[in-house]
A and B are shown apart, each in its own frame.
Chain A
Amino acid sequence: MTEAEEQILELFKKKAAVVSAKVVEVKDLEEAMSYALDVCEKKDFCELVYVGEGEKGGRYGQATQKMFAAPGLSDRQFGGLEKAGREKGFTVIREGMRGYVSGIDVGFSIADLGIADTGCCVLVSGGEDARLAGMVCEIHVVALAKSKIVNSLDDAENFMNGIMDKGAMFISFISGPSRTADIERVLTIGVHGPLELHVALMES
């Protein structure tokens, strides 16, 4: 890693911490996935799932089964993850997220880009499952290759233009967990989206 790359990496870590993202360093995607599974194991059961049937008949209650979603993985990647998750007793899915809108434990995504001076991850996700997994989860774990971190917003422009020029696509900048300060300006983490955002920085 060159000195410039080192600086960009440090800047990313610093800015991501400012927005309350938890940054960890891992070797590769496999390690990132096993980190995410650990996170899922250590957390409490999802507190916000819809129990019962139908919109009127049900109620909210605590889950009794851990849910882990990882859309956007290849068959091979998902196969390994699914097996490891099942061994821990989780239900691991990669599609049909609309069935779990009331909440899941962990959503796992792979970022397409990181922007150091804002500490944000860029996720390109045309598919709704990929977006929903990152929104309805309590903890969102994003794997980001160190090589994909650019210095500034300006440096992300070419990448984005390349996608936006091509056709329909949804690009998300994600900086930290969801938050609000709408009641008495008190910062409160976790409103409609994740309560925590973890970024697993991958060596390769």
Chain B
Amino acid sequence: MQTAKTMKHYHKELSEAIENKFLRQTLDKFAVAYRANRQLIFADVNAKELIADIAAAKAATIGRYDELYDQFKAEAEKRGVIVHRAADGEEANRIICSIAGANKVKKIIKSKSMTGEEIHINRALEAIGCEVTETDLGEWIIQLRNEGPSHMVMPAIHLSRHQVADTFTGAVGEKQDSDIAKLVKVARRELRSRFAAADMGISGANFAIASSGTVAICTNEGNGRLTTTLPRVHVAICGIDKLVPSLHDAMRVLKVLPRNATSQILTSYVSWMTGATECTLNPDKKKIMHVVFLDNGRSALAKDPVCGPALNCVRCGACANVCPVFRLVGGHKMGHIYIGAIGLILTYFFHGHDKAGNLVQNCINCEACKDVCAAGIDLPAIIREIRARLNEEEGSPMASSLLAKVLANRKLFHTLLRFGKWAQRPVTGGTAFIRHLPEIFMPGGNFRALPAIAPKAFRDQWPGIKRKLSAGSKCRVGIFAGCAQDFVYPEQIRAAVEIFSAKGCTVEFPLEQSCCGLPVLSMGERMAAQSVAAQNVKAFAAGGYDYIVTLCASCASHIKNNYTRILSGQPELAADTARFVERIRDFSSFTRDVLQLGAPDLVKSGETVTYHAPCHLCRGLGVQEQPRALLADAAEYKPSAEEEVCCGFGGAYSVKFPEVSVQLLDMKLNNAEASGASTLVTDCPGCVMQLRGGEEKRGKKLKVEHMAEFLSGKLKK
């Protein structure tokens, strides 16, 4: 459970987690294994199609909770179940405590319920004198240790077998071996008598089916079946977002949920409980069954056009499994109750803005979560939206509001960037890196050398370049530079211009273009993001380009995926925006697919090269094969492990969370160096900045280049 009150305290906790060797090893192994297992388990189904179907079905359900609740209640009551609806956690706890009271319940067993965690039901029941025992192995372990879950599916993943043995030793009163099979037996033995003695069983619910009043749960251990069968009272706690119209809707989710959660086709048990079935302990031989639906902000969230899809979540935990930040710091630092990307979001909506303020900053926007989400939720976009709302509610931090103000005026922004090259002189030592930046300007940021601002921005070089270019016949290309290449790495654009001209393109560079707006959007500056987006659309509107190409994966993916939505409030720009978005292309796919650059154009060298796939290219735009094909045609391509994992840049993220960024950078460079290649190529100036800066500090074992630079050097002259 994340409880840090201040950002400073949060940083301290993050650093402690990063230092936890066991946690690091466990989560590293898990991250790699999860990806491989997920791929295998989805081999026989069309994951994209299923996920799209789930998202569509969920979207159609989101506004219908009231109606579905009424239907569920009517159907369940027909079958002998009592159905409640609680507005918040407090009311849910009150209802459950009164059920316990009315039935003279003393001993309670629980199977896993994140909703139960959300409302702290154990505390409430213990306060009225009940004894509550968690029976999911992981939940029992953390209950004995008085901790919160660190993962939604594997709540005790942060603990070693030795810690579990110590915990069990304390609980059982005799020394326990750390052999895992034996520890599992301890739980089997110790909990069996609790099952037998319990008066009430509390379960969660993966589905609440309105058409039949059915509650369904997925479990592997079998504790769910015992919890719902043995005691005379069964209470199922269920968020109203778990309501689905029909069995068919539940089955659709069931095809993805276990696969995404634990790489299983199905969990060992799926229990479909319709109505009060036999229980011989009660006088009427029927189970006393209650279903308590929890709202706790869900109805309000359902009406939220941007963040509402967060309710599509099926609680598979996959967003944590692939999150590079979770992998480093673990779940206790990545959520209050709910963990991972969805945890950052639900903390804001269910547990309050104060608990979410620090957490929502800790997303690097690599989109790995969005890519695997079982319900197709655009998690990073919702996290950005929450940042914007927090800024609006509480005022922007100085850095982001300043940048927003400057960006709103392109000329001022570009003048300031040009001025930067003079201002940085004392710290560059005349090199291409900022070398002596006192720590005070960027606390913790000295893990990589930051590049200096180029002596002459690309936009200032352009008139000279343009004079030497001849018009090509193949197509008309407008270059969208993005700030990093325009002002820091103009040579990368020059290299691209050389390639485009050689392949017969007419190249243009509209000078009115500005920052794509992603940095300010990530900082939660909505208006600034809109204003630069409009500026860019207008800058390219009149040029009649066949393609608009950018060498920055983040600019490309931001424009492609977000501009239409960002500019939806400006209908006068709709046609130009659509044209802009349609024509924008990243460098590698344009060069490979449109210009057909390949072996005949290149002098293949024996140089060994490996690749870093920028998040916003491989996931944001789904471009995966083209860059690797280009590399293989130009040199000896040696794949690295985990090429598609984030390098740790994340724009402002690397400045906000340097302790995380440096770890991701180290893993990335370790993998790249282990490939045996001498050059590391990537497709985004932000990644170049991070990787080159890291190599500069490590002693330049690898040359780091942008794809355009690398290819221009291999072009047949």
Contacts and interface: CB of A to CB of B under 8 A. Distances in A.
Interface of A: 15, 18-19, 48, 50, 55, 60, 98, 101-103, 117-120, 126-128, 131-132, 135, 153-154, 156-157, 160-161, 163-165, 167-186, 188, 190-194
A193 B269 contact: yes
A190 B221 CA distance: 7
Contact of A182 (B154, B230, B251, B280): B154
Given A19-B264, A157-B247, A165-B212, 12 more contacts: A48-B189, A55-B196, A160-B272, A164-B212, A173-B270, A178-B222, A181-B262, A183-B156, A183-B183, A185-B29, A191-B137, A193-B268
Contacts of B286: 168
B195 interface: yes
Sorted nearest first, the 10 A-B pairs with minimum C-beta distance are A193-B222, A168-B275, A182-B138, A178-B222, A173-B270, A164-B212, A191-B221, A192-B222, A171-B272, A182-B137
A175 B137 CA distance: 19
Contacts of B225: 131, 135, 172, 193
B196 A101 contact: yes
B396 interface: no
Given A55-B193, A132-B229, A168 B276 contact: yes
Contacts of B196: 55, 98, 101-102
A64 to B, nearest CB: 18
Given A164-B214, A172-B270, A182-B156, A191 B223 contact: yes
Name the interface size band of chain B. Answer: 35 or more
A175 B264 CA distance: 10
5 contacts: A50-B192, A135-B225, A135-B226, A175-B268, A185-B157
Nearest to A100: B196
B247 A135 contact: no
B50 to A, nearest CB: 12
Contacts of B44: 117
B266 A175 contact: yes
Given A50-B193, A164-B209, A164-B247, A192 B221 contact: yes
Contacts of A117: 44, 265
A126 B251 CA distance: 21
B160 A184 contact: yes
B265 A175 contact: yes
A18 B221 contact: no
Contacts of B281: 98
B501 interface: no
A192 B247 contact: no
Nearest to B154: A182
A173 to B, nearest CB: 4
A180 B192 contact: no
A119 B160 CA distance: 32
Listed residue (A154, A160, A179) with the most chain B CB atoms within 10 angstroms of its CB: A179
A191 B222 CA distance: 7
Contacts of A174: 268-269
B268 A186 contact: no
Contacts of A160: 247, 272
A102 B155 CA distance: 26
Tell me what chain B mostly uses at the interface: helix, strand, loop, or mixed.
mixed
A192 B188 contact: yes
A126 B137 contact: no
Contacts of A192: 135, 187-188, 191-192, 195, 221-223, 226
A170 B274 contact: yes
A170 B274 CA distance: 6
A193 B221 contact: yes
Contacts of B193: 50, 55, 102
Contacts of B251: 153-154, 156-157
A170 B277 contact: yes
A118 B137 CA distance: 25
A188 B141 contact: no
Contact of A164 (B29, B191, B223, B272): B272
Contacts of A179: 220-221, 268
Nearest to B221: A191
B36 interface: no
B76 to A, nearest CB: 10
Nearest to B197: A55
B209 to A, nearest CB: 7
Contacts of A194: 222
Interface string B174-187: 00000011011001
A184 B183 CA distance: 12
Interface in B194-228: 195-197, 209, 211-212, 214, 220-223, 225-226
B268 A178 contact: yes
B327 to A, nearest CB: 14
A5 to B, nearest CB: 20
A143 to B, nearest CB: 19
Contacts of B265: 15, 18-19, 117-119, 175
Listed residue (A156, A174, A192) with the most chain B CB atoms within 10 angstroms of its CB: A192
A154 B50 CA distance: 13
A31 to B, nearest CB: 26
B248 interface: yes
A50 B272 CA distance: 30
A163 B375 CA distance: 28
B161 interface: yes
B30 A185 contact: yes
B500 to A, nearest CB: 49
Interface string B63-86: 000000000000000111000000
B187 A191 contact: yes
A155 B227 CA distance: 29
Contact of B274 (A131, A135, A169): A169
Contact of B221 (A127, A164, A180, A186): A180
Contacts of B630: none
Contacts of B247: 157, 160-161, 164
Nearest to B165: A183
B275 A190 contact: no
A190 B226 CA distance: 14
A3 B154 CA distance: 42
